[in-house]
């Protein structure tokens, strides 16, 4: 079996605004750090480059035009994946698996602060015939889904709010997090409802930043790194873009992505074999819904685990030790790669004050946010 490992990571940010840096500078800084970390020269060693971007988020059509220069990819194989950061990671992973490439990099970034009308941009992702004419703020999708999820599983609003308290407090320990805060449960519950029952503080705020990772095939990884982080398995899935026919309860896309990732990595009992996880928490309830869909606990159990503190840094199953999107900031399509970044740092023992003990296998899961049902998972081990 051809094995693949992450041998270098670098990031720039994450901050709520970055008026001093363009997206190109963010990408350059992250790439330079990742190449330094991996000990590779992009012009000589990196054989292929994968960038993650969506045109409307960038305000530029055919955005991949502006990718190669700042990551060292000029006149080399470079392509874009308009997907989650983990989709990009998987594209790089597959290229190494083919045997045609040994060293491949993946990049994802967010310059969300440049987008003045982010909600309007998201509204453009709605079906142009059936949904867009309604003119609704797209966050209603999250409100409706949260309502359905609470009703279906018996999870309470307090349990969802506890996710916010935990993640933003984890963010305090993460020097890269933009939204670390010490919040009380009441403050979250008392925050303004945006789309009932979803409240303002349960929605992650956007941040700017860039993340780059360098992947290498087994033997090359052993040469490059004293502690390669092995990609044990990947999985991804799209349910349906149609609001009318999708599963509103159980995040089917996450369930199927995880099934594939566990199958590829040979994990039979995720609850026993996964030490910690970074899962998408764009909205607080999503962390709980995703935990259940990913098989980290039974349906309806995630809320209880959060309430009991099992998902805290010192709990049995730490979830989002980085602070997640709620604490770090939502990085648009780079969010998934931010989840992977934390798993890599934890497995390397480089997570500083938020370092978990005995972390050997971690799961990262990213979701492309409303209105999509597109998710990707990756299992990493030391």
**List of residues contacting other proteins (CB under 8 A):** 1-2, 54-56, 59-62, 64-69, 73-83, 87, 90-91, 93-95, 97-100, 121-122, 124-125, 127-129, 234-242, 252, 256-257, 260, 263-264, 266, 368, 371-372, 374
Please report how close the Cβ of residue 62 comes to other proteins at its closest, in angstroms.
Answer: 4
Pick 29 or 157: Cβ nearer other proteins: 29
| CA-wise closest residue to 235 among 90, 118, 382 | 90
Q: Which is nearer to other proteins, 124 or 196 (CB)?
A: 124
Spatial neighbors of 58 by CB under 8 A, at least 6 apart, are: 23, 111
In the structure encoding, which two tokens stand for residue 75, read together? 């006149």
Residue 123 Cβ vs other proteins, minimum distance, rounded to whole Å: 8
Yes or no: say if 339 and 86 are a contact pair by the CB < 8 Å rule.
Answer: yes
Query: Which of 112/306 has CB closer to other proteins?
Result: 112
Contact 204, 281 (CB under 8 A): yes
Cis (ω within 30 of 0) for the bond into 197? yes
Residues 139 and 204 sit within 8 Å (Cβ to Cβ): no
User: Which long-range contacts (C-beta less than 8 Å, at least 24 apart) are formed by 130-135?
Assistant: 130/242, 130/243, 130/244, 131/243, 131/371
- Chain mean position to CA 290: 12
Q: CB of residue 229 vs other proteins: minimum separation in angstroms? A: 18
Q: Which residue has the tokens 């860039």?
A: 210
Nearest approach in angstroms of CB 97 to other proteins is 4
CB of 125 to other proteins, least distance (A): 4
Integer Cα distance of 56 and 221 in angstroms: 36
In angstroms, the CA 85 to CA 51 distance is: 9
Residue with tokens 């992250």: 30
Contact 77, 47 (CB under 8 A): yes
The residue (of 200 and 263) whose beta carbon lies closer to other proteins is 263
Using the minimum distance from each CB to other proteins, give the nearer residue, 230 or 276.
Answer: 230
CB of 38 to other proteins, least distance (A): 21
Residue 87 vs 354, nearer CB to other proteins: 87
Looking at the Cβ atoms of 8 and 83, the one nearer to other proteins is 83
Q: How far is the CB of 319 from other proteins (least distance, A)?
A: 24
The CB-of-222 to other proteins minimum distance in angstroms stands at 18
Choice between 122 and 188, CB closer to other proteins: 122
- Per-residue buried b or exposed e for 87-122, using 16+ beta carbons within 10 Å of the residue's own CB: bbbbbbbebbbeeebbbbbbbbbbbbebbeebeebb
């Amino acid at each position: 079996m051809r094995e693949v490992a992450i041998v270098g990571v670098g990031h720039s940010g994450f901050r709520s605004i970055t008026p001093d840096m363009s997206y190109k500078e963010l990408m350059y800084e992250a790439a330079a750090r990742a190449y330094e970390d991996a000990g590779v020269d992009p012009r000589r060693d990196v054989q292929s480059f994968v960038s993650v971007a969506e045109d409307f988020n960038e305000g530029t059509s055919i955005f991949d035009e502006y990718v190669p220069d700042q990551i060292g990819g000029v006149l080399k194989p470079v392509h874009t994946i308009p997907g989650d950061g983990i989709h990009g990671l998987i594209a790089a992973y597959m290229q190494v698996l083919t045997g045609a490439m040994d060293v491949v990099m993946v990049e994802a970034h967010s310059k969300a602060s440049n987008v003045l009308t982010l909600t309007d941009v998201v509204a453009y992702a709605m079906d142009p015939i059936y949904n867009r004419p309604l003119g609704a703020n797209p966050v209603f999708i999250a409100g409706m889904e949260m309502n359905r999820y609470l009703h279906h599983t018996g999870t309470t609003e307090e349990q969802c709010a506890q996710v916010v308290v935990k993640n933003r407090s984890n963010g305090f320990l993460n020097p890269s997090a933009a939204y670390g805060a010490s919040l009380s449960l009441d403050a979250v519950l008392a925050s303004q409802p945006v789309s009932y029952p979803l409240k303002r503080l349960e929605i992650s705020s956007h941040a700017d930043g860039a993340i780059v990772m360098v992947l290498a095939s087994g033997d090359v990884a052993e040469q490059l790194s004293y502690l390669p982080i092995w990609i044990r398995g990947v999985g991804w899935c799209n349910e349906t873009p149609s609001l009318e026919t999708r599963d509103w309860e159980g995040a089917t896309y996450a369930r199927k992505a995880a099934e594939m990732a566990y199958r590829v990595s040979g994990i039979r009992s995720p609850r026993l074999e996964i030490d910690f996880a970074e899962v998408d928490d764009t909205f607080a309830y999503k962390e709980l819904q995703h935990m259940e869909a990913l098989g980290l606990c039974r349906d309806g159990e995630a809320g209880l685990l959060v309430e009991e503190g099992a998902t805290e840094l010192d709990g049995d199953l730490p979830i989002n030790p980085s602070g997640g999107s709620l604490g770090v900031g939502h990085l648009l399509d780079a969010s998934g790669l931010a989840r992977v970044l934390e798993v890599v740092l934890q497995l390397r023992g480089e997570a500083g004050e938020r370092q978990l003990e005995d972390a050997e296998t971690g799961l990262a899961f990213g979701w492309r946010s409303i209105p999509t049902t597109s998710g990707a998972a990756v299992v990493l081990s030391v």
